[in-house]
């Protein structure tokens, strides 16, 4: 192979010349080399790559934000706590004021941070999808509660359905660069809250063996869900040992008020062994300050209050530091998930989680654009790469999302899988070793060699392990592109979606288990077996 490559002519591709190389001899050989799947440890990208090389905040900034947070928690505190929350929190030292607000002494906040769960694993049903949440390890996944599915072919928004959730789950199940599946849409065809919560979770866990995140409307809806999960796990202990579902919990109505129903859900999930994503979703200029630093302060204060609450209920219960502040377009008040300010907020929150050495989750990839177009591309690319480089452990909303969380798109999942691959390659960064510095290689090529690196041993060795190749991204020359009929990335994504939906019906939950679930829950299960390829 090396000689075939060496024989090719070298034409230099610079900014100054139209000299796209026209090599062919080595191409097929190199393509064949690429066709063999790589072992996980030599893949150019993988879940849990270490981020953190981008730091929007300096050390002094972090300390000032932390001090402001402690001040807010002990002087402003939280309104609207439910009785069980008051009971649990005051037991550990939270102070109930005459104005009804719970205030958090700084010593309690600090000891909670010290003793909180960290370095835990968010499990998949399949252990190969386990995510070790620690340090600055980065994972990307979905999330959201879109009410629309984006129909790319018809160029329209329609209501999202239960089947769409299952379809999104099974698409994500096969996309390497999307590491977890939090429910991204609400099923508008299942309006009853219990039906909705139960079936959303059912569609998710049947659709993918990756870690799943979901929400519950009220406390009472947790019990049947737990029964389903314990059944799938083969018993309560099995689920508690490897919880493959976490609860995305909006326990706070910013600014600084508890959400009563969500708190009930939180308590039931802690009791049932479900990890909690403590999600504070203030919106800058509306439910959070307009100053970026102030948004971070409020979000961190809110999530730390939630952390005290969870640890008051059950010390060491796994909880994710879910600072998810959003941005408003202050001209209209509408949310702007694709904005630069959003990218900064998310990255700053990552640093605060790292400041506390807590497992951090935040949101990126929320395009304002309605369709998978160039705007959605740059908004997703900018926000997701900054999230990854900052070292957020869990990047939620990173794939498929449009219209600032109102529309979810299956084709975008497939395109975004490539985009997230690029982000992960950027997170992985640059290896600087004696070999990588390449002094000997450069000297050999210049002084004794062919004057180029095409057939070099180093090139052949690194092409698979150091370079990320997109699955449907287009790298054709204009000439090739024209000859192939000017292919369009949306067309490729539509075709790939149809292929996946026709072929991929995950069977990680055995039929016998699903039989038991259907026997146990009867008509509560709304997703027909026909929609599951049975």
Q: Please report, as residue ranges, which positions from 228 to 247 form the binding site for a second copy (by CB under 8 A).
A: none
Considering the rule CB under 8 A, would residue 478 count as an interface residue with a second copy?
yes
- CA 181 to chain centroid, in Å, comes to 8
Nearer to a second copy, 82 or 426 (CB): 426
Q: Say how far apart CA 298 and CA 65 lie, in whole Å.
A: 9
Site string for a second copy, 281-310 (x = CB under 8 A): x-x-xxxxxxxxxx-xxx------------
Q: Is 475 in the site for a second copy (CB under 8 A)?
A: yes
Q: Is 520 in the site for a second copy (CB under 8 A)?
A: no
Provide DSSP, 117-186.
Answer: --SEEE--SSGGG-EEE-TTEEEEB----BSEEEETTTTEEEE--HHHHHHHHHHHHT-TT--EEE--B-
Residue 172, token pair as written in the block? 């994500």
Decide whether 26 or 506 has the Cβ nearer to a second copy: 26
Binders of a second copy among 403-432, rule CB under 8 A? 403-407, 412, 415, 418-419, 421-426, 429-432
Cβ-in-10-Å burial (0-12, 13-18, 19+) of 177 comes to buried
Separation between Cα atoms, residue 78 and residue 150, nearest integer Å: 38
Kindly tell me which of 115 and 477 has the beta carbon lying closer to a second copy.
Answer: 477
Closest CA to 281 of 305, 304, 251, 318: 251
> Three-class SS of residue 74?
helix
| Cβ-based nearer residue to a second copy, 358 or 454 | 454
Contacts of 419 (CB under 8 A, 6+ apart): 377, 380, 381, 384, 399
Least gap, CB of 31 to a second copy (angstroms):
6
Binds a second copy by CB under 8 A, chosen from 1, 42, 241, 442: 442
Please pick, from the candidates 112, 208, 248, 398, the single residue that binds a second copy as defined by CB under 8 A: 248
State the Cα–Cα distance between residues 220 and 339, nearest whole angstrom: 37
Nearest approach, Cβ of 231 to a second copy (angstroms)?
26
Closest CA to 470 of 401, 343, 359, 381: 381
Q: For residues 369-398, which are near a second copy according to CB under 8 A?
A: 369-382, 385-386, 389, 396-397
Residue with smaller CB distance to a second copy, 17 or 530: 17
114, 127, 482, 533: residue in contact with a second copy (rule CB under 8 A): 482
Among 86, 92, 194, 462, binds a second copy (CB under 8 A): 462
| List 93, 193, 224, 473, residue binding a second copy (CB under 8 A) | 473
Question: CB under 8 A: which stretch of 103-111, 116-124, 152-160, 505-513 binds a second copy?
Answer: 152-160
Please identify, using beta-carbon distances, which residue of 125 and 287 lies nearer to a second copy. 287
145 scored as a contact of a second copy (CB under 8 A): yes
Rounded CA-CA distance 313/65 in Å is 27
- Answer for which of 39, 447, 502, 512 binds a second copy (CB under 8 A) is 447
Tokens of 41: 């440890």
Place of tokens 């910013």: 254
Q: Does 466 bind a second copy (CB under 8 A)?
A: yes
How near is the Cβ of 2 to a second copy at its closest, in Å? 13
* Long-range pairs of 486-495 with CB within 8 A, sequence gap ≥ 24: 489/415, 490/152, 490/372, 490/411, 493/152, 493/372, 493/411, 493/412, 493/414, 493/415, 494/152, 494/153, 494/411
Give the total of residues touching a second copy (CB under 8 A). Answer: 164
Residues in 193-222 that interact with a second copy by CB under 8 A: 215
Q: Which is nearer to a second copy, 186 or 232 (CB)?
A: 186
Please give the Cα distance from 46 to 176 (Å, whole number): 8
CA 73/CA 89 separation, integer angstroms: 13
- 13 touches a second copy by CB under 8 A: yes
Question: Which residue, 112 or 417, has its beta carbon nearer to a second copy?
Answer: 417
| Residue 399 binds to a second copy (criterion: CB under 8 A) | no
Judged by CB under 8 A, the residue of 7, 91, 114, 486 near a second copy is 486
448 binds a second copy (CB under 8 A): no
List strand residue ranges (DSSP E) for 208-306, in order: 211-214, 245-249, 252-253, 257-258, 276-280, 283-284
Of 56-85, binders to a second copy (CB under 8 A) are 56-58, 60-61, 64-65, 68, 71-72, 75-76, 79
Smallest distance, Å, CB 153 to a second copy? 13
CA distances, 247 to each of 231, 277, 306, 468, 487 (Å): 18, 6, 13, 33, 41
Which tokens is 110 given?
A: 């600090």
Q: Is 497 in the site for a second copy (CB under 8 A)?
A: no
Determine, following the binding rule CB under 8 A, whether residue 437 of this chain makes contact with a second copy: yes
Give whichever of 354 and 424 is closer to a second copy, judged by the CB atom.
Answer: 424
Residue 468 binds a second copy, judged by CB under 8 A: yes
Least separation in angstroms between CB 517 and a second copy:
25
Q: Does 171 bind a second copy (CB under 8 A)?
A: no
Residues 313-372 that bind a second copy (CB under 8 A): 324, 326-336, 338-341, 343-344, 348, 363, 368-372
- Number of Cβ within a 10 Å radius of residue 246: 24
Does residue 134 interact with a second copy by CB under 8 A?
no
Distance from the Cα of residue 185 to its chain's centroid = 14
Q: How far is CA 24 from the centre of its chain?
A: 39
* CB contact set of 395 (below 8 Å; sequence gap of 6+): 138, 139, 140, 141, 346, 361, 362, 363, 364, 365, 384, 387, 388
Nearer to a second copy, 349 or 509 (CB): 349
Q: Provide the 8-state DSSP code for 217.
A: S
* Region from 13-21, 109-117, 165-173, 194-202 binding a second copy, contact rule CB under 8 A: 13-21
Tell me how far, at minimum, the Cβ of 138 lies from a second copy, in Å.
Answer: 14
């Amino acid at each position: 192979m090396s000689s075939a490559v060496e024989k090719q002519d070298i034409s230099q591709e610079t900014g100054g010349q139209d000299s796209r190389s026209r090599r062919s001899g080595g191409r097929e050989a190199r393509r064949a080399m690429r066709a063999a799947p790589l072992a996980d440890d030599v893949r150019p990208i993988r879940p849990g790559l270490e981020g953190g090389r981008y730091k929007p905040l300096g050390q002094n900034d972090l300390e000032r934000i932390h001090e402001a947070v402690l001040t807010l928690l002990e002087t402003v505190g939280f309104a609207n706590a439910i009785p069980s929350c008051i009971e649990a929190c005051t037991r550990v030292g939270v102070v109930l004021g005459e104005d009804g607000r719970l205030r958090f002494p700084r010593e309690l906040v600090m000891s909670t941070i010290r003793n909180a769960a960290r370095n835990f694993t968010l499990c998949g049903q399949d252990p190969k999808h386990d995510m070790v949440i620690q340090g600055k390890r980065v994972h990307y996944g979905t999330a959201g509660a879109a009410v629309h599915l984006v129909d790319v072919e018809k160029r329209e928004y329609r209501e999202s359905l239960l089947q769409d959730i299952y379809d999104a789950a099974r698409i994500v199940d096969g996309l390497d660069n999307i590491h977890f599946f939090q429910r991204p849409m609400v099923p508008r065809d299942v309006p009853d809250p219990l039906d909705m919560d139960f079936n959303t979770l059912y569609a998710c866990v049947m659709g993918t063996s990756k870690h799943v995140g979901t929400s519950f409307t009220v406390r009472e809806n947790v019990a049947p869900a737990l029964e389903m999960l314990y059944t799938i796990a083969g018993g309560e202990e099995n689920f508690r040992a490897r919880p493959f579902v976490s609860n995305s919990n909006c326990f706070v109505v910013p600014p600084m008020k508890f959400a009563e129903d969500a708190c009930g859900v939180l308590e039931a999930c802690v009791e049932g062994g479900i990890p909690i994503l403590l999600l504070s979703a203030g919106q800058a200029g509306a439910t959070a300050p307009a100053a970026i630093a102030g948004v971070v302060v409020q979000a961190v204060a809110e999530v730390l209050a939630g952390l005290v609450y969870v640890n008051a209920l059950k010390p060491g219960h796994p909880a994710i530091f879910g600072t998810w502040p959003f941005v408003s377009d202050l001209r209209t008040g509408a949310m702007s998930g694709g904005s630069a300010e959003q990218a900064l907020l998310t990255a700053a929150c990552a640093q605060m989680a790292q400041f506390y050495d807590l497992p951090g989750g935040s949101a990126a990839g929320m395009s304002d654009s309605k369709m998978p177009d160039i705007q959605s591309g740059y908004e997703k690319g900018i926000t997701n790469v900054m999230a990854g480089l900052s070292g957020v452990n869990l990047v939620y909303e990173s794939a498929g999302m449009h219209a600032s969380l109102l529309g979810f798109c299956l084709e975008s999942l497939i395109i975004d899988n490539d985009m997230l691959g690029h982000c992960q390659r950027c997170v992985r960064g640059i290896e600087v070793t004696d070999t990588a510095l390449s002094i000997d290689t450069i000297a050999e090529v210049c002084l004794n060699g062919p004057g180029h690196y095409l057939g070099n041993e180093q090139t052949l060795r690194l092409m698979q392990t150091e370079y990320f190749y997109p699955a449907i991204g287009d790298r054709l020359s204009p000439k090739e592109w024209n000859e192939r009929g000017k292919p369009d990335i949306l067309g490729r994504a539509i075709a790939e979606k149809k292929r996946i939906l026709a072929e991929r019906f995950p069977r990680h939950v055995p039929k016998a288990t699903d039989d038991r679930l259907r026997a146990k829950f009867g008509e509560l299960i709304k997703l027909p077996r026909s929609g599951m390829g049975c």
